[in-house]
């Protein structure tokens, strides 16, 4: 058994002479700071792997270990990890937080935020998109959705010390639609899911994209994005009327969005 594994490893090395050991750096970042405001300095240590060259088959470049004093957790985040930052979500409380950022695989920033309650490392939040900290317990995020940005508000719950997303009925888009080309006619509906037609958009016409129905639930937020065909979009016709159409229908008959991931 072990001999077989050894032979396979030798073959792999022969196929790929650049070994993981040559290209990865084991990184450690540490900082001494009072995280929970009890007047006692805490020791924060993060271990992660940084690659100068990464190829399929290498160990994960997403995994990290975070230690605060004698408590340790393991987790992962989209590549590439660059260490941690200390942030202060709410300057009115005694705690500061540990933020682990990445720019994601396609310049889509995301981060994990942790706090320390004196005994445990608590996952305070996991945010996608560009972040704006108010310092008053509120973080705004702008998450790129292919041709627009979804803005969310996150509020720190002082009791659980976790970030809670403020629900919205819909996301504002505000795309004027001047550059859009409508190739086939389609209908605008009174409500999402309604059979009642408000207006028909003819081929060659134009629309503005006002908003997108926010169909996000707590458990699905991280994987949610715009391209789910059942999403409903609120459009404004040239006539001035507004109505709803599904993304799958709208995108099928319209060109010019300039999609970018
Ligand atoms: Ca402390
Ligand atoms: Ca604070």
Task: Give the pLDDT confidence of 147-163 residue by residue, as tens digits.
Answer: 888 899 999 999 999 99
* Distance of alpha carbon 117 from the chain centroid: 25
For ligand 1, the distance from its centroid to the CA atom of residue 62, given in whole angstroms, is 28
> Among all ligands shown, which has an atom nearest to the Cα of 34?
1
Looking at the structure, tell me whether residues 76 and 10 fall in a common domain. yes
Domain termination site, one of 165, 183, 206: 165
**Tens-digit pLDDT profile for residues 8-38:** 333 443 334 334 455 667 899 999 999 999 9
For ligand 1, the distance from its centroid to the CA atom of residue 127, given in whole angstroms, is 25
**Tens-digit pLDDT profile for residues 189-214:** 999 999 999 999 999 999 999 998 87
- Res. 240: pLDDT tops 50: yes
Q: Which of 155, 147, 197, 199 lies closest to 176 in space, CA to CA?
A: 147
For ligand 1, the distance from its centroid to the CA atom of residue 120, given in whole angstroms, is 12
Looking at the structure, tell me whether residues 175 and 150 fall in a common domain. no
Looking at the structure, tell me whether residues 128 and 206 fall in a common domain. no
- For the chain, how many structural domains are there in total? 2
- Please give all residues whose CB falls under 5 A of ion ligand 1, grouped by chain where several chains appear: 34, 36, 38, 40, 42
In a domain, 191, yes or no: yes
d(CA 248, CA 261): 18
Look up the domain containing 183 and give its range. 170-255
More confident residue, 25 or 185: 185
Whether the predicted model's global pTM rises above the 0.85 cut: no
* Residue 80 contacts residue 102 (beta carbons within 8 Å): yes
For ligand 2, the distance from its centroid to the CA atom of residue 91, given in whole angstroms, is 4
Q: What is the mean pLDDT of the chain?
A: 83
Looking at the structure, tell me whether residues 159 and 174 fall in a common domain. no
**Tens-digit pLDDT profile for residues 116-137:** 999 999 999 999 889 999 999 9
In a domain, 232, yes or no: yes
Looking at the structure, tell me whether residues 111 and 203 fall in a common domain. no
d(CA 64, CA 81): 8
In a domain, 261, yes or no: no
The domain that holds 188 is classified in CATH as: 2.30.30.40
In a domain, 260, yes or no: no
Looking at the structure, tell me whether residues 156 and 174 fall in a common domain. no
d(CA 30, CA 184): 59
> Among all ligands shown, which has an atom nearest to the Cα of 35?
1
The Cα-based distances of 142 to 148, 218, 259 in angstroms read 9, 17, 17
């Amino acid at each position: 058994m072990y001999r077989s594994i050894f032979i396979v490893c030798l073959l792999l090395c022969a196929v790929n002479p650049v070994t993981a050991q040559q290209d990865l750096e084991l990184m450690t970042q540490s900082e001494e700071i009072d995280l929970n405001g009890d007047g006692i300095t805490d020791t924060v240590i993060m271990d992660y792997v940084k690659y100068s060259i990464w190829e399929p088959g290498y160990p994960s470049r997403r995994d990290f270990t975070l230690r605060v004093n004698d408590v340790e957790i393991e987790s992962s985040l989209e590549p590439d990890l660059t260490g941690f930052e200390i942030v202060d979500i709410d300057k009115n409380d005694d705690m500061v937080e540990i933020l682990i950022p990445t720019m994601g695989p396609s310049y889509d920033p995301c981060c994990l935020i942790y706090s320390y309650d004196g005994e445990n490392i608590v996952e305070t939040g996991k945010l996608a998109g560009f972040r704006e900290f108010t310092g008053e317990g509120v973080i705004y995020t702008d998450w790129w959705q292919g041709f627009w940005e979804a803005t969310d508000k996150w509020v720190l719950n002082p009791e659980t010390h976790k970030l809670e997303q403020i629900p919205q009925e819909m996301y504002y888009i505000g795309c004027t639609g001047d550059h859009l080309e409508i190739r086939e006619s389609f209908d605008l509906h009174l409500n999402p899911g309604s059979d009642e037609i408000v207006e028909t958009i003819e081929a060659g016409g134009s629309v503005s994209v006002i908003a997108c129905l926010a169909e996000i639930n707590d458990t699905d937020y991280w994987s949610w994005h715009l391209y789910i065909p059942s999403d409903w979009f609120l459009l404004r016709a040239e006539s001035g009327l507004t109505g709803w159409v599904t993304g799958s229908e709208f995108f099928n008959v319209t060109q010019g969005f300039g999609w970018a991931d």
